Amino acid sequence: MCDRERGWSEVPLVKTWQLIAGSAVAGLALSAVAVTAAGPWDSGQRKAERDRAASWNPTGGADHAAGSLPQAAPSAPGVLQGIAPRSAAPSAALAGVLGPLLADPALGTVRGAAVIDAATGAVLYESGAAEPMTPASTVKIATASAALAALGPEHRIRTTVVPGPDAGQVVLVGGGDPSLTAKKKSPAGSGGSLVALAADTAQALKAAGTDTVALGYDDGLYSGPVRHPIGRNDNLAPVTALTADEGRPDDSTAGPVERTEDPSKDTARAFAALLRDRGIKVTGEPAPAKPAADARPLATTLSTPLAGLVERMLTNSDNDIAEALARQTALATGKPASFEGGEQAVTQRLGSLGVDLTGTRFADGSGLNRADKVSARLLAGLLAKAADPQHPELRPVLTGLPVAGFTGTLRTRNAGTSPAAGLLRAKTGTLTGVNSLAGTVVAPSGRLLAFAFLTANAPDGSAAEKGLDKLAAAVASTP
């Protein structure tokens, strides 16, 4: 479901649905949860379960004033707040266990490792922790942290319909919502709805005595190349400010699939068809256009709150959401909404959190670019920062991490009888020759630990993953 508004002179602002967003608390108790089957995919991504962070059931309903956003349900409270902080000195036992596991040749020729007590910030273990390395999809932890720091977890992205400069013209204006869907009910979960937007637009037009329009579309909010530097790739659509269903031609919600060449135009075409279904004649083909100056929107649809986008991105390793969040961070920071602007903005926002950025580079938001460089110390530090009571805005970074043996990209890893099953939450990262894992786990001592393991030049990706899982299980089981 979605929240939508409409307004145009005498047409009142109406809210028809209110999003009920929920965040999963870090897992301590194992529970039987129905999840969608996960399967492997290429270039550092995997197919994962559907987003469960928000409900499509129409249970909301309070009106809100014009120009204001509906309030999202709060994100999860302090993660594992029932666990009492304990003194945390560097653990000789942890070093004795992790050292030999980190030396496994299956992990490649370069390794970085860091384990931090989340409550105290004490470093429990480090090896090559300051070395900047290619992180693959674990860079999404940085993207999420920067976006939440810049915009807050309740921020929503608008897609609007605005009168055009010519008589009888309306313009569909993209705000960069990566959850925007043209489906009546998206299998990906809640988000901005073109169906709802078309219904509100048609009602506003009819109320004004208009039943025929020319449709334009405006995706000018973003700048620079729309193609990722790696070029055409089934793991990412061209990055535009107006894209429905991530440019996917089917009902898939994750994993590789050939994307549309022109997401903006295809989204406008879908919107035109929805208007026609609602009794509005649309003349000609949608074409690029700009709204009339100072025009009030006819209708608006809102994205899932940023907390929900972050959780969906991390659970499913969603590259499209990641690149959108990097650009939203750029816009909030006064930078161009481009790959370059995103890099500058993410760097600036993370710097404001007080983490060490020595040697880092955020060439993209998704981790598909091998030019990305982060250290294990940085990733573990960001996760510890997200658990800090002084930074509740970062909590979705933790609640969005997949749960070992249960959800997302960890559904089949550290599962079953593993000591990490249900206790470990982590973001995976995989490119050819690059494997990484960063997350949190509750140790037998009762401490919440943040960890990061980065590797490079592994001869076999599957063997490297197993080596990383052993490291994470060791953190989960060592006193």
Active-site residue identified among 140, 335, 385, 470: 140
In degrees rounded to 5, what are phi and psi of residue 193?
A: -120, 120
Name residue, tokens 């990566």: 178
Q: With beta carbons less than 8 A apart as the criterion, state whether 221 and 241 touch.
A: yes
Active-site residue identified among 23, 43, 75, 137: 137
Q: With beta carbons less than 8 A apart as the criterion, state whether 338 and 224 touch.
A: yes
DSSP state, 476?
H
Which structure tokens are listed for 45? 């991504």
Which residues are registered as beta bridge partners of 133? Answer: 374
SS3 150: helix
| Parallel/antiparallel/unpaired status of strands 169-173 and 212-218 | parallel
Active site residue 140: yes
Q: With beta carbons less than 8 A apart as the criterion, state whether 210 and 198 touch.
A: no
| Parallel/antiparallel/unpaired status of strands 110-117 and 434-442 | unpaired
How many Cα neighbours within 13 Å face the side chain of 204? Answer: 29
Nearest to 212 by CA among 172, 162, 167: 167
Per residue in 385-419, is it b (16+ CB within 10 Å) or e — as a string? bbbeeebbbbbbbbbbbbbbbbbbbbbebbeeebb
- Distance, in Å, from the CA atom of 271 to the CA atom of 282, rounded to the nearest integer, reads 10
Active-site residue identified among 91, 264, 317, 375: 317
Give the C-alpha distances (Å, rounded to integers) separating 338 from 2, 3, 136, 231, 345: 27, 28, 20, 15, 10
- Distance, in Å, from the CA atom of 152 to the CA atom of 120, rounded to the nearest integer, reads 24
Other Cβ atoms closer than 10 A to 36? 18
Q: Angle at the Cα of 218 (from 215 to 220), degrees rounded to 5?
A: 165
- Distance, in Å, from the CA atom of 137 to the CA atom of 337, rounded to the nearest integer, reads 21
Nearest to 222 by CA among 200, 201, 237, 232: 237
Which structure tokens are listed for 20? 């009920």
Q: With beta carbons less than 8 A apart as the criterion, state whether 258 and 202 touch.
A: no
Active site residue 317: yes
Catalytic residues: 137, 140, 317
